Structure 1
């Protein structure tokens, strides 16, 4: 009680502590955060954010409402996921009056270790507190304890004038500890923010190196990850001397500090080179070549166990500071989460790329006709979408062109597109029917199978016998009109369009026909080619026709490359598929 009184705090706002709990609320994403102190009749909140009226204004409650008194009594953290079902606190009126459902409270102490209260994070709904969150709250509570301890020490020094010089020394010590603790808290806050923005493994390595090198003046920071083949790969080891190159890749059961941490699942801290070499004599050449005097290896834990290590080295001895070790363990927790997310996204990108390659089949060789295609996925992590093209030879002098676009540009859209494309390919081979009949069959199957996939599509049949003009017949289900580019630069669309696929059953569809002039180019494309936030479709259409007119007689690959270079932006948000066919000059 004397220590609580010596803080000079009461049930009134304290500017420093209010800012402090505001930081806690932001970092842990909780609606309520408190610095709660306990005396013999009440708890009071000199630091408080998020309490409902009248508690935020009054800043005090009787002990009947105090979860904090349990922290004071036991000297241990109190972590509650759902107070309504927790036997320790389920009868507390704070559940109803203060809307305390999830609670995490860490002890706040003075400089002698007396527990004065708790630093509390409170949620008004059930919540499973994660290990990194509790570690961060513990670190912040340690910082807050230093602040309270400094207040108590200052008050006692004021009372004991004879100990003024000693009190000043204590104050300086606590000030240094406060500064160090605040820096480390800021480091953890920066880590929580920076790692959420990482996407790839190199992103994670760059983030951890930026954080750790600056705060701990380390000369080397790397991350070692286990793979499925019993090996370990070290990321971030670039630039190390040749004697250290063996660290880049090694078996998980090889002798050494990294393998020991992987096996024993514990933090390894060698404070100087003598300690390092006493434990690992074979590292003498490595340590001397790299200039390392101290080394810490922290385990990285994933959902299924340990996934790797965080490795930090210094050029000078490093005392085994307990608070610094706690920060390193907390940073390792953030690295673990970021690495697992990055590896998951990498696996997803690779799976998407494999799926896309499987669906974009090679073009057939067609006598007398040039055909080329291009596909650019939306600028997303999946790198796969709902656009597709197809060219199918259906007989002597006959082939079919297909282009389509399923709503969306992600893996789900790709899966829907794959179903439509496969069914349509079967119809093209098995049913020698006009394009409109094939699209009707495809739409009926779309409904009958329960997919109701919304998509645009265009099917075109071409006949190209020797000495005869090239004839094209097509049916358009809501797709952008194909463009015919004449050798003289004239560009005109093949107009006429019916409703999209997947809208209504038994939609009437029409087949239209025309003759392609000798030397003409037929261009089919998806709407991603013309959709831009900063341009209207009409502007983009004018630009496309201008490019096509300028490339009317250019080689076919140059024409489509010119279109992709001049028409779409590099950051397009929709997929782009192109299919171009060139008619021979002799007709």
Structure 2
């Protein structure tokens, strides 16, 4: 509920507050608000029965002084809210989206705080806004709230000034009649003459005044009297001018501010200090209220003149600086805070002073303060104002979150959790401790204090001590006793924390030997042993050590370390379960893939590599067998999916294809067609890629040492032929046929090519050539280049090296590989070739399409 502000306090559309001075001051405050938060516009609105724009910056011409309906104003919403109105996107905020400034596009984001008088009655609002959406930070809200107090102070001061102007009119009349107080101090005999007005200002009367300066000094405030006396003495010593402002203590304990000015003059050879004095209480009280407001700010404030001399310091600045203001005022910033020299502090301060543009930045001031601050350096006509917000806790909290994120990334970035956990030592030092040890715990640790323990990671904040920590990690476990802190943490499953005298206490539970000497060099003062727990069992230990200069591990750091230990323990246990599941999957997968046939003079080598990131069986398969007519059939395929269902389908298809090929003696295209029909009949509901290759010879071909190869491809990557001369030929055919399981009526094409002796045929699944970061064509190009480079190698060596080059130690998918070498038949069978003999055989199929050379 809004109320009309009282006369002289900002209400009635600004009654009692009109005038260029007030408008200028409010414009300056509004402009300061816009600069400090980096907005394009700002506004001071006073609310009565209408909204009056009393000041602003970045507004349309004529906006200041204009009036408008309350119901159209965002500032009305702010005043009704009674607290900050934070609107990152005005178009999406139902509180303001329908108001004309938002609908017109003038206001896209808005931040406002209410203005209220000392009785809590609303006067209006101070706001900043931009035409586009933006996020407002908590520090932006805090700055606006502080400036809102300055607006209210200005409004009150304007009201006081209005009353003061009337007083000054009367004062001028009084001055004409001798109302301004005058004084005359005879420097020869010390006699002091005061007129009636100055007697009154000094709290004296004729009866109590003895004609000496000491009579006036007795009424000057104790905090001011020394300054007044020194200023008088300086004027006397220099025969110059005198100027002072001081408080007169009145009856009842109140005080009056008096400003006095004078000059030493020569009156016929006699020196006199003569001058005038007047009451400045009315001017000083608003300034005093402003000073009190700055004093009460939760933000540290330091004002400096153009020579970097500090002229004002509030209580929060004293707290952050750790020094009383008496040690700060009158000294330069560089003298009091030498660590700012040559840092981003100095760079930003000088940039703000040089450009006249406020600068906002975060920075850390080192020990002994050891504080993070958000700094606003605001230039002004008389120097630079600095606003400091202590953000140490916020930064520490943010760094804790970042540390936990680093730990999570480290643990999830590799399947070898033991390696990742070992690297934790480098992450937690020096964030949580001066040095650290990471220990893995085996299943047999219960059989003794040293069994099953292995220090796998260590780090030290001091590089010179890192080798010492490494040696200690090597010697520590053998030296552990049954009463060691490690044994206690293992037996209880709970952290063990020692805050002081750690070196002596650890030494007492270690067996004599090299570990003692190394421990003395490291000299820990405190430590914490944190079990790494995973599913009810301890799988490792994280031990943090602190030196005497750091102090004990704080409760916050211990909580962070406990969180890290929990994540690491779970990762280690997950890795154990993964290894078990992966081994089971690989064993099952390999059990489904029987050994290939080894016909005479034909060497067959197979390889199977499971996906690096999976612990499941897959659908990749290979096979090599003989048909009744003596031809060798080689197949490879891939069922869609990576699960037990895919593996089951793979087993069915492989067996089905083998049975059809053996019982019918059909060529590759006919075999694939019948497999497709069987999949439809059996309603297998899956798809698969496959290549069927048949190798055979006529008697003439056997004599010439060449082999006839027939093949048909159902959507599978093309087999590669490595010719004896090292060239590589992909068996692509005229076009790719459909996958199995898509259309059982589709025609299957069959192709043929004649290969020379010593040729190599390579069949593979798509995991060899496809990756997330490359397309299939690029993978096929890499495969051809690798095969050209490996031509002539032993077949086993060729397969192993091919997998190494193509997979780079990591595979996103399962990979099946089968390679055949056609050995010479005019010589004895080489040991690498198979023992089965191939009778001459002639293929005669109407579907054969000759492969171009």
TM-score (norm: length of structure 1): 0.59
2: CA distance, partners of 1:266 / 1:499: 61
Cα deviation code 1:10-62 (max 9, x no counterpart) = xxx9x999xxxxxxxxxxxxxxxxxxxxxxx99967999999654996899xx
Q: Report deviation, 1:501.
A: 0.9
SS in 1 for 2:695: strand
Cα deviation code 1:113-142 (max 9, x no counterpart) = xxxxxxxxxxxxxxxxxxxxxxxxxxxxxx
Q: Report deviation, 1:233.
A: 3.8
Q: Are the counterparts in 2 of residues 194 and 207 from structure 1 also a CA contact under 8 Å? A: no
Q: Please, which of 614, 617, 622 is the counterpart of residue 389 of structure 1?
A: 622
Q: Please, which of 264, 274, 296 is the counterpart of residue 528 of structure 2?
A: 296
Residue 401 in structure 1 maps to residue 634 in structure 2: yes
Q: Report deviation, 1:439.
A: 3.0
1: CA distance, partners of 2:626 / 2:111: 79
Q: Are the counterparts in 1 of residues 603 and 821 from structure 2 also a CA contact under 8 Å? A: yes
Q: Please, which of 488, 496, 507 is the counterpart of residue 268 of structure 1?
A: 496
User: Cα 1:456–1:551, aligned 2, differ >3 Å: closer, same or farther?
Assistant: same
Q: Report deviation, 1:553.
A: 6.1
Residue 190 in structure 1 maps to residue 402 in structure 2: yes
Q: Are the counterparts in 2 of residues 524 and 580 from structure 1 also a CA contact under 8 Å? A: yes
Cα deviation code 1:234-278 (max 9, x no counterpart) = 453567577764765999x96532332244343211123468738
Q: Please, which of 428, 435, 439 is the counterpart of residue 672 of structure 2?
A: 439
Residue 281 in structure 1 maps to residue 281 in structure 2: no
Equivalent residue for 1:311? 543
1: CA distance, partners of 2:782 / 2:536: 54
Q: Are the counterparts in 1 of residues 628 and 662 from structure 2 also a CA contact under 8 Å? A: no
Equivalent residue for 1:476? 713
SS in 2 for 1:215: coil
1: CA distance, partners of 2:579 / 2:113: 49
User: Cα 1:352–1:194, aligned 2, differ >3 Å: closer, same or farther?
Assistant: farther
2: CA distance, partners of 1:380 / 1:222: 25
Q: Report deviation, 1:431.
A: 6.0
Q: Are the counterparts in 2 of residues 204 and 338 from structure 1 also a CA contact under 8 Å? A: no
1: CA distance, partners of 2:398 / 2:619: 44
Equivalent residue for 1:236? 456
User: Cα 1:256–1:420, aligned 2, differ >3 Å: closer, same or farther?
Assistant: farther
Q: Are the counterparts in 1 of residues 582 and 616 from structure 2 also a CA contact under 8 Å? A: yes
Q: Please, which of 412, 417, 421 is the counterpart of residue 205 of structure 1?
A: 421
Residue 582 in structure 1 maps to residue 821 in structure 2: yes
Q: Report deviation, 1:457.
A: 0.6
1: CA distance, partners of 2:802 / 2:299: 79
Q: Report deviation, 1:401.
A: 0.5
Residue 370 in structure 1 maps to residue 603 in structure 2: yes
User: Cα 1:344–1:276, aligned 2, differ >3 Å: closer, same or farther?
Assistant: farther
User: Cα 1:299–1:58, aligned 2, differ >3 Å: closer, same or farther?
Assistant: farther
2: CA distance, partners of 1:59 / 1:306: 55
Higher relative contact order (CA 8 A, sep 6+): 1
Q: Are the counterparts in 2 of residues 241 and 290 from structure 1 also a CA contact under 8 Å? A: no
1: CA distance, partners of 2:536 / 2:421: 22
2: CA distance, partners of 1:245 / 1:529: 42
TM-score (norm: length of structure 2): 0.43
1: CA distance, partners of 2:729 / 2:820: 14
Q: C-alpha root-mean-square deviation of aligned residues, in Å?
A: 5.5
2: CA distance, partners of 1:441 / 1:408: 23
Q: Are the counterparts in 1 of residues 612 and 811 from structure 2 also a CA contact under 8 Å? A: yes
SS in 1 for 2:527: strand
Q: Are the counterparts in 1 of residues 510 and 516 from structure 2 also a CA contact under 8 Å? A: no
SS in 2 for 1:195: helix
User: Cα 1:560–1:213, aligned 2, differ >3 Å: closer, same or farther?
Assistant: closer
Equivalent residue for 1:214? 430
**Paired residues, number:** 458
Q: Please, which of 455, 458, 465 is the counterpart of residue 691 of structure 2?
A: 458
SS in 2 for 1:327: helix
Equivalent residue for 1:70? none
Q: Report deviation, 1:435.
A: 3.6
Cα deviation code 1:175-229 (max 9, x no counterpart) = 7586764454233212222123233324533552122212234222314445488
Cα deviation code 1:285-314 (max 9, x no counterpart) = 545533453321123344446554321124
2: CA distance, partners of 1:310 / 1:343: 18
Q: Report deviation, 1:482.
A: 3.7
User: Cα 1:250–1:420, aligned 2, differ >3 Å: closer, same or farther?
Assistant: farther
Once the two structures are superposed, the pairs formed by residues 321-340 of structure 1 within 5 Å of their partners are: 321-340=554-573
User: Cα 1:473–1:349, aligned 2, differ >3 Å: closer, same or farther?
Assistant: same
User: Cα 1:228–1:358, aligned 2, differ >3 Å: closer, same or farther?
Assistant: farther
Q: Report deviation, 1:400.
A: 1.9
SS in 1 for 2:429: helix
User: Cα 1:420–1:229, aligned 2, differ >3 Å: closer, same or farther?
Assistant: farther
Q: Please, which of 733, 738, 752 is the counterpart of residue 499 of structure 1?
A: 738
Cα deviation code 1:411-461 (max 9, x no counterpart) = 876665455335444555666554445434543554456543322112233
Q: Are the counterparts in 2 of residues 233 and 250 from structure 1 also a CA contact under 8 Å? A: no
SS in 2 for 1:194: helix
Equivalent residue for 1:64? none
User: Cα 1:152–1:424, aligned 2, differ >3 Å: closer, same or farther?
Assistant: farther
2: CA distance, partners of 1:330 / 1:543: 45
Question: Between Structure 1 and Structure 2, whose CA radius of gyration is higher?
Answer: 2
